[in-house]
Amino acid sequence: MITIAIANQKGGVGKTTTAINIATAMAATGWKTLLIDLDPQGNASTGLGVAGADREYTSYDLLLDQGTLTECAQPTDIPGLDIVPATQDLSGAEVELVSVDDRTARLRKALDTQGYDVCFIDCPPSLGLLTLNALCAADSLLVPLQCEFFALEGLSQLLQTVERVQQGFNSDLGIIGVVLTMFDRRNRLTDQVADDVRDCLGKLVFENVIPRNVRLSEAPSHGMPALVYDHNCSGSRAYIGLARELIGRLPQKRKAA
């Protein structure tokens, strides 16, 4: 199984939208896919149509050793895509984890049981213990970056955290790529920032950019990925292209289970 954390400590940059749609695209391509909602806001769970009442076992249980992966993962309406949902309880985990052993390796241990080809982790907008658990469990980090003025500054803080994780906890962690989100080609600042990001990060930046597209923002309120809500909109097409590009960057060790 390949585990990919989707992280950026900034909120509203497209982490959850990317997690939902890329996981859906991978499942549609035949990859047995797991999405772990690691944000107490539970947006990925809601966006995939998991009602609050159906979140009996959650990522909180997984982290606090109160449930196995088999218990906590549940099927979604998308064939081949399972989710470990999140609830508000998860905000307490950040505090509760401080006093337990191996507090950064909880998720890594819980993921030991396999059966999936790929696992995505939708991280909260912070660099706290939840995101640290995701980075310690992951083989790769995927960073959604919104093309706005302070984008690169936030990124350097994230990269410092990655370095700390590589040195202290998880030397296997690599960065699989940076995806530019909410791209608006009519906006000159967007273009300028995109050029700066490509100058600075080179090939790390995915060629596929995700355009600003209202269908992507409408889909979650219908409890479905944009790829199902309107599979032909510009946003869906961009995520299909991104999934293809991502698969091309993955090592071929897929069927580990």
Give contact residues for ligand ADP (rule: CB under 6 A): 11-17, 43, 125, 181-182, 210, 212-213, 216-217, 220, 235
Q: Which stretch binds Mg ion (CB under 5 A): 40-48, 83-91, 145-153, 235-243?
A: 40-48
Residue from 78, 69, 76 nearest 116 by CA: 69
Residue nearer to ligand ADP on the CB measure, 59 or 181: 181
Least Cβ distance, residue 102 to Mg ion (angstroms): 26
Residue from 238, 187, 188, 192 nearest 215 by CA: 238
Beta bridge partner(s), residue 77: none
Binder among 3, 7, 8, 15 for Mg ion (CB under 5 A):
15
- Residue 239 CB partners (closer than 8 Å, separation 6+): 18, 21, 22, 24, 25, 210, 226, 227
Least Cβ distance, residue 105 to ligand ADP (angstroms): 24
Least Cβ distance, residue 36 to ligand ADP (angstroms): 14
Total residues binding Mg ion (CB under 5 A): 3
Residue nearer to Mg ion on the CB measure, 16 or 59: 16
Residue nearer to ligand ADP on the CB measure, 38 or 64: 38
d(CA 47, CA 185): 27
Q: Which stretch binds Mg ion (CB under 5 A): 37-45, 103-111, 159-167, 192-200?
A: 37-45
Residue nearer to Mg ion on the CB measure, 84 or 117: 84
Long-range contact pairs involving 243-251 (C-beta distance under 8 Å, separation at least 24): 243/22, 243/25, 243/26, 243/29, 245/177, 245/206, 245/207, 245/208, 246/22, 246/26, 246/142, 246/176, 246/177, 246/206, 247/26, 247/29, 249/176, 249/177, 250/2, 250/118, 250/176, 251/2
Least Cβ distance, residue 79 to ligand ADP (angstroms): 23
Identify what 236 binds: Mg ion, ligand ADP, none; CB under 5 to 8 Å per kind.
none
Residue nearer to ligand ADP on the CB measure, 3 or 46: 46
Identify what 45 binds: Mg ion, ligand ADP, none; CB under 5 to 8 Å per kind.
none
d(CA 192, CA 109): 42
- Residue 127 CB partners (closer than 8 Å, separation 6+): 9, 157, 158, 161
Q: Is 16 in the site for Mg ion (CB under 5 A)?
A: yes
Least Cβ distance, residue 44 to ligand ADP (angstroms): 8
Least Cβ distance, residue 30 to Mg ion (angstroms): 26
The residues binding Mg ion (CB under 5 A) are: 15-16, 43
